[in-house]
Structures are given as C-alpha cells and as structure tokens.
C-alpha cells in the first residue's frame, strides 16, 4: 500500500477521530441498542449483534463481559452497560 501524505488539516481531522474514538463507539452502541429494540426480524437482530461485538472490541471491553453480553443477547443488559460506560467515560475499560 502506498504511503499517503496528508495536509496538516487532514492530519488534525484524523488525529481528532482517533482521539474521540471511544466517544464515537459509545454513540454507535447507543444507536445499536435502539435499533435492536426496533428490529423486526431475527436476521436483522443477528446483524446488529455482530456490529455490537465489533464496537465493544474497538472499545476494549473486557472479553468476559463482551462474551456475557453476546451470549445472553439481552438488549436491557447491553443498554445498562452502555449507560455505565458513558458515565465512567472511556468505556470504563482503562485508557489505551
């Protein structure tokens, strides 16, 4: 893959994205909770839970908690944890 040179403005945008990645992923998880409540087919729920797994991985949620949430597939448990992570900031997982 070719190395790309970015302008200082582009570098600031990229840096800002990664600096706020935890906040972005938590917002996505909030949206996914809503979508899970509204999902009307099992196939749609399956796709949404896959996205939940990806978001929790990016947030570095402890594997045991991730496995528990995904095993139960309980939207209430997910919503409660997302609220806790929002209160604690940085997903409550320790800083990267």
Domain that holds residue 33: 8-92
Question: Could you tell me the CA-to-CA distances from 55 to 7, 85, 87 in Å, in that order?
Answer: 29, 13, 17
Determine whether 66 is exposed, middle or buried from the number of CB atoms within 10 Å of its CB (0-12, 13-18, 19+). middle
Instruction: Report which of 47, 53, 50, 80 is spatially closest to residue 67, judged by C-alpha positions.
Output: 53
Total tally of structural domains belonging to the chain: 1
Is 67 among the domain residues? yes
Contacts of 13 (CB under 8 A, 6+ apart): none
Is 16 among the domain residues? yes
Is 3 among the domain residues? no
pLDDT in tens, the chain (96 residues): 456 889 999 999 999 999 998 999 999 999 999 999 999 999 999 999 999 999 999 999 999 999 999 999 999 999 999 999 999 875 554 443
Is 1 among the domain residues? no
């Amino acid at each position: 893959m070719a190395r790309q040179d970015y302008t200082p403005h582009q570098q600031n945008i990229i840096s800002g994205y990664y600096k706020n990645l935890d906040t972005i992923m938590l917002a996505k998880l909030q949206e996914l909770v809503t979508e899970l409540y509204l999902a009307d087919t099992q196939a749609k729920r399956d796709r949404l839970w896959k996205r939940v797994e990806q978001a929790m991985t990016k947030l570095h949620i402890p594997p045991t908690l991730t496995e528990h949430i995904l095993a139960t597939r309980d939207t209430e448990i997910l919503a409660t944890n997302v609220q806790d992570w929002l209160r604690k900031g940085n997903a409550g997982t320790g800083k990267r």
